[in-house]
Homo-oligomer: A and B are copies of this chain.
Amino acid sequence: MTTLPAAIIAALRTTLDPTLASTPGTTGVALHEPRFQGNEQRYVQDCIASTFVSSVGPYVDRFERELAAYTGARRAVAVVNGTAALQVALQLAGVEAGDEVIVPALTFVATANAVHYRGAIPHFADSAPDTLGLDPTALRDWLQTTTERTTGACRNRHTGRRLRALVPMHTFGHPCDLDGLLAIARDYRLTLVEDAAESLGSRYHGRHTGTFGLLGTLSFNGNKIITTGGGGAILTDDEHLADQAKHLTTTAKRPHRWEYVHDAIGYNFRLPNLNAALGCAQLEQLPVFLASKRRLYGRYRDAFAALPTVRLMQEPPGGDSNYWLQTLILEEGPAEFANASLANQRDAILTATNDAGLMTRPAWTLMHHLEPYRACPRAPLPVAESLAQRIINLPSSAGLA
């Protein structure tokens, strides 16, 4: 009898070998590699030749214009990474020291860190199994029982702190239920800020993720669908907020021919022109990457169809996913086995696949299990706890299909 790890390795090989066979010298398959087959070298060379490699330059302006055009946001402000983008977006959304901010427990640590950098406290909420993002139904129930609405603000009954913002994250590129979350934000007077770090190219009811909240943020880290080496962006339809974002991320220096007057405590969060040059070339390739990732999803779906104990994550209803990271979810077994045995099974699969040179990884450790965030307020998290034992990300690079 074939074990599940062996069956998964066989399915991965079926999917990937035809691609890899044409790439001599390949010894293993990464989880996600960048791909530079367009104008990357040309733009970066041009950037260096111009000597404008740093905080100002035509590639920064162009990257911002093209990101806005692509996402449909009125404005995009390029910054040094996605964490910085979220930190500044939260500041512009009015998050102040001592506020609480709703974030998913199932996310990369940067979401919670950005809240912390503002002096605010992350308040963890549960995920929905079909989107892997914040579950509006569970969240509404939770807010109903734990918050009270006083003059103009939503307060946590237990901590007394103001809940100021709601930060959904589009996990692995799958849009979460924005309609439900926007309704909650309205009803509970929370400002919605989208962490779209993983979802460049993903749409919800046809509209690009990151453009539904007051502000949204993107990441162009090396493992993302497009990369600038390191980089991020703030999206918004509000011209004034965009101007403020630019001002705050460029040390809050007032424009002057020579004077150095900073009228607020800003940040050195500019995206260098060198990195923007790479970004402009990558953005040109994005449609190609999206098509490749969708093909890879189709191939994985076929390859895993015969395995009844796993489910391949597909785009949720209303969503067009970028399929940034392909995701296998182990089906829950009988109740008596529960999470512990699923986690064992997952670890056996992770070990076997990685040993075989096929890089896979589990979901992030849930935020409330990380030592620095253990004491933060949280809703019941049964779905996130279950998913965290069952998620396995598969090799997902553009170009694998």
State the A residues within 8 Å of B (CB).
33-36, 40-41, 44-45, 48-49, 51-55, 80-84, 108-110, 113, 116, 119, 221-223, 227-230, 251, 253, 257-268, 270-275, 278, 350, 354, 360-365, 370-372
Q: Nearest Cβ distance between residue A283 and chain B, in whole angstroms? A: 15
A222 and B53 contacting across the interface, CB-CB below 8 Å? yes
Decide: B51 and A268 in contact? CB cutoff 8 A: no
A55 is contacted by which of B41, B51, B221, B362 (Cβ under 8 Å)? B221
Contact status B267-A83, CB under 8 Å = yes
Please tell me if the beta carbons of B362 and A265 are within 8 angstroms of each other in the complex.
Answer: no
User: Min CB distance, A33 to chain B, in Å?
Assistant: 6
Cross-chain contact of A44 among B44, B260, B265, B360 (Cβ < 8 A): B44
What is the CA–CA distance of A205 and B377 in the complex, to the nearest angstrom? 54
User: Among B41, B258, B371, which residue has its beta carbon within 8 angstroms of that of A48?
Assistant: B41
Q: A44-B44, A113-B266 given. 17 additional CB < 8 A pairs?
A: A33-B51, A36-B53, A40-B48, A44-B274, A45-B45, A54-B227, A81-B268, A83-B267, A110-B268, A119-B119, A229-B272, A230-B275, A257-B354, A258-B354, A258-B360, A261-B370, A262-B372
Give the docked Cα–Cα distance between A227 and B274 (Å): 11
Chain A interface main SS type: loop
Query: Given A259-B362, A272-B230, A278-B48, A265–B116 Cβ distance below 8 Å?
Result: yes
Cβ contact of A80, chosen from B81, B228, B273, cutoff 8 A: B81
Whether the pair B230, A54 counts as a contact (CB closer than 8 A) is yes
CB contact between A229 and one of B116, B274, B362 (< 8 Å): that residue = B274
Q: In the complex, A63→B258 CA distance in Å?
A: 33
A270 to chain B: closest residue by CB = B230
Name the residue in A34, A35, A53, A350 with the highest tally of chain B Cβ atoms < 10 Å from its Cβ: A53
Q: Whose C-beta in chain B lies nearest to the C-beta of A35?
A: B51
B251 touches A365 (CB 8 A): no
**CA–CA, A327 and B43, complex, Å:** 36
Please, which residues of chain B bring their CB within 8 A of the CB of A259?
A: 362, 365
Distance to closest chain B CB from A122 (angstroms): 11
State the Cβ distance, A91 to closest chain B Cβ, in Å. Answer: 12
For A262, list chain B residues within 8 Å (CB): 109, 365, 370, 372
* Among candidates B34, B109, B272, B364, residue contacting A54 with C-beta atoms closer than 8 Å: B34
- A278, B268: Cβ atoms closer than 8 Å: no
Q: Is the CB of B83 within 8 A of A80?
A: no
- Whether the pair B264, A55 counts as a contact (CB closer than 8 A) is no
User: Among B80, B251, B365, B372, which residue has its beta carbon within 8 angstroms of that of A260?
Assistant: B365
Q: Which residues of chain B come closer than 8 Å to A45, judged between CB atoms?
A: 41, 44-45
**Which residue of the partner chain B has the closest CB to A264?**
B372
Across chains A and B, which 9 residue pairs bring their CB atoms closest together, nearest first?
A: A54-B222, A229-B272, A229-B274, A260-B364, A83-B268, A230-B272, A258-B361, A53-B229, A265-B372
- A47 CB → nearest B CB, Å: 9
- Chain B residue numbers with a CB within 8 Å of A371 are 263-264
Per the bound structure, the CA–CA distance linking A327 and B370 in Å amounts to 50
- Nearest B-chain residue to A56, judged by Cβ: B222
Contacts of A44 in B (CB 8 A): 44-45, 48, 274
Q: Could you say which residues of chain B place their CB within 8 Å of the CB of A34?
A: 51, 53-54
Chain B residue with the shortest CB-CB distance to A112: B265
Q: How far is the CB of A108 from chain B (nearest CB, A)?
A: 8
| Min CB–CB distance A271 → chain B (angstroms) | 8
Distance of A108 Cα from B365 Cα, bound (Å): 40
Asked, given contacts A258-B362, A262-B372, whether A251 binds B110 with beta carbons under 8 Å apart, the answer is yes
> Considering only CB atoms, which chain B residue lies closest to A366 in the complex?
B260
Distance in angstroms between the alpha carbons of A274 and B108 in the assembled complex: 24
> Which listed residue (B84, B223, B229, B258) contacts A273, Cβ 8 A?
B229
